[in-house]
A and B are shown apart, each in its own frame.
Chain A
Amino acid sequence: MANRLTLRQNIESLELTSSGLVAFRDAVAKMQALSADDNRSWMFLAGYHGFPQFQCWHGGRIGLNQQALTYDLFLPWHRAYLITMEHTLRDQNAAAALPWWDWTSSGSHRVGVPLAYSTRRIGKTPNPLINGPVPEVRSGRVPGLPPSPARKTTRAPGDPEDLPTADQVNSVLALTDFVDFSQQLQDIHDQVHGWTGGRNGDMGTIVFAGFDPIFFAHHCMIDRIWYLWQLRHGVQNVPPDYMNKPLAPFPLTVGDVLDIHRLGYEYAQASSSHD
């Protein structure tokens, strides 16, 4: 077991009471129960992305006045983030693995957010995938800003028909240049964040998105699409000057995260139109 690849599965293929999903929920609940100051906690890990640490790579990092920086670590940074989160979950429950949310599926285009992330209780137990804890944002730091007490994340998802389609993903998978592919995939990613968060929901903005458990299922889908692209266009297919770029705060470089098997995980086969 210890040396096997972790198998990430499509959330829609998992029954709510399947052993894999039970283990995943158990790990998430245990992390959510820890305080924000504990570096094993949900809040601590979520805080890498937006508030309060703002380490994530978004926006392409194109320089001021069109003085372009030459690299964009959106995909490798989030791969490093996912593997870190997955191992932290497995510290709580060794059988836990991140699932992916295929927002192009017919099920998603019918109901939107998958049942695993929208069902309030599983039996008598509250579902930890409904929302996540957000720490207090102190008041008085910027004049005029309201205080924000500790709370749980919320969502206000849009019309399921507005989610990205398999055709969109297939168009992106056909692109042959990594930077081109990354930019176009990031736009689809941006679309899903806005759709899931809705008017005031946390998934809709960088500051709090990482606190919502569905963030990781969304990014698992993005990571899987990158993996599918790599199968077509080459695992090592990134500009050479990317290879040694560090992915702070994780102890990994771009070169370290290109091969998912070397990272110890695999994506289950799926009967979707873009596999």
Chain B
Amino acid sequence: MPKAPATKSRKRVAPKKHVTTAIGTESLATGFVRADLVFDGLDHSGASFEARIFINNPDADANTEMTVQNRYAGKFHVFGHGGCFGDVGHCEVRGIPRPYDPRPAHPLTPMRKVVIATEALRREIKRSNGKGLTLTIVPIVRSGTVRCDYENVLKFDGVSVVTYA
């Protein structure tokens, strides 16, 4: 995992938001009892942050109110590691464990976050008329250290919609 360059006087810049490509909804069962937004491969090596999720509202930002009108879906929180406090290589995630390695996964192994967003997804799937869902994820940094990359705090591999019938 790339380490943030550290300086004594790192300035805090606004964290970048992420807008996904459209997620198709054709294959989703209708009449679900629960629907989740599942984020995989989420980085938690840096600052702690709140991530607000809006559906089909690419203009949403940190000042957008979390309302139905603004197509707010939910949020998740990351308790960040705070940057690297070891020698070179300390925060590089080991790969897939080799056979017979009894140690737990590396502490910075990317994580999964599940946001239960049943009513928001029900509403927005209906509203989208089959055109798919575009998610805007807006990070708000809550806490960090001089060793954190605030601008690129939000990093993940992918997000999916999971429904339960």
**Which chain B positions have C-beta within 8 A of A187?**
76-77, 113
Answer whether A197 and B142 are a contact pair too, CB < 8 Å, given A142-B88, A187-B113.
Answer: yes
Nearest CB of A to B148, in Å: 8
Q: Give B12-45 interface residues, CB cut-off 8 Å to A.
A: 40-41, 44
Q: Does the CB pair A193–B48 fall under 8 Å?
A: yes
Answer whether A190 and B96 are a contact pair too, CB < 8 Å, given A59-B107, A142-B88, A183-B114.
Answer: no
**Which chain A positions have C-beta within 8 A of B82?**
50, 204-208
Cβ of B145 < 8 Å from any Cβ of A?
A: yes
Q: Does the CB pair B79–A69 fall under 8 Å?
A: no
Complex Cα distance A172/B42, Å?
22
Cβ of B54 < 8 Å from any Cβ of A?
A: no
Answer whether A194 and B111 are a contact pair too, CB < 8 Å, given A61-B104, A144-B7.
Answer: no
Nearest CB of A to B4, in Å: 11
Cβ of A64 < 8 Å from any Cβ of B?
A: yes
Interface residue from A57, A189, A201 paired with B143 (Cβ < 8 Å): A201
Cβ of A67 < 8 Å from any Cβ of B?
A: yes
Cβ of B155 < 8 Å from any Cβ of A?
A: no
Cβ of B53 < 8 Å from any Cβ of A?
A: no
Mark interface residues in A176-208 (1 if CB within 8 Å of B CB, else 0). Answer: 000010011001111101110111110111111
Interface residue from B47, B77, B114 paired with A205 (Cβ < 8 Å): B47
Answer whether A205 and B81 are a contact pair too, CB < 8 Å, given A64-B93, A190-B48, A195-B142.
Answer: yes
**Which chain A positions have C-beta within 8 A of B96?**
63-64, 67
| Most chain B CB neighbours (cut-off 10 Å) among A142, A145, A195, A198 | A142
Answer whether A199 and B110 are a contact pair too, CB < 8 Å, given A64-B95, A65-B157, A66-B40.
Answer: no
Interface residue from B81, B113, B116 paired with A207 (Cβ < 8 Å): B81
Cβ of B134 < 8 Å from any Cβ of A?
A: no
Q: Does the CB pair B143–A193 fall under 8 Å?
A: yes
Nearest CB of B to A189, in Å: 7
Cβ of A122 < 8 Å from any Cβ of B?
A: no
**Which chain B positions have C-beta within 8 A of A207?**
81-83, 85, 145
Q: Give A137-162 interface residues, CB cut-off 8 Å to B.
A: 137, 141-146, 158
Q: Does the CB pair A194–B142 fall under 8 Å?
A: yes
| Most chain B CB neighbours (cut-off 10 Å) among A143, A184, A205 | A205
Nearest CB of A to B2, in Å: 14
Complex Cα distance A199/B144, Å?
6
Cβ of B52 < 8 Å from any Cβ of A?
A: no
Q: Does the CB pair B113–A146 fall under 8 Å?
A: no
Cβ of A60 < 8 Å from any Cβ of B?
A: yes
| Most chain B CB neighbours (cut-off 10 Å) among A56, A59, A141, A142 | A59
Cβ of A51 < 8 Å from any Cβ of B?
A: yes
Q: Does the CB pair B86–A142 fall under 8 Å?
A: yes
Q: Does the CB pair A58–B79 fall under 8 Å?
A: yes
Complex Cα distance A138/B32, Å?
54
Mark interface residues in B107-120 (1 if CB within 8 Å of A CB, else 0). Answer: 11111111010000
Nearest CB of B to A244, in Å: 12
Cβ of B68 < 8 Å from any Cβ of A?
A: no
Q: Does the CB pair B105–A194 fall under 8 Å?
A: no
**Which chain B positions have C-beta within 8 A of A198?**
142-143
Complex Cα distance A209/B147, Å?
15
Query: Which 10 A-B pairs rank lowest in CB-CB distance, beginning with the nearest?
Result: A204-B143, A205-B82, A194-B142, A190-B77, A197-B143, A59-B111, A190-B79, A194-B48, A62-B112, A207-B82
Q: Which residues of A contact B (CB under 8 A)?
A: 50-52, 54, 56-69, 137, 141-146, 158, 180, 183-184, 187-191, 193-195, 197-201, 203-209, 248
6 contacts between A and B (CB under 8 A): A59-B107, A69-B105, A146-B146, A187-B76, A205-B82, A208-B82
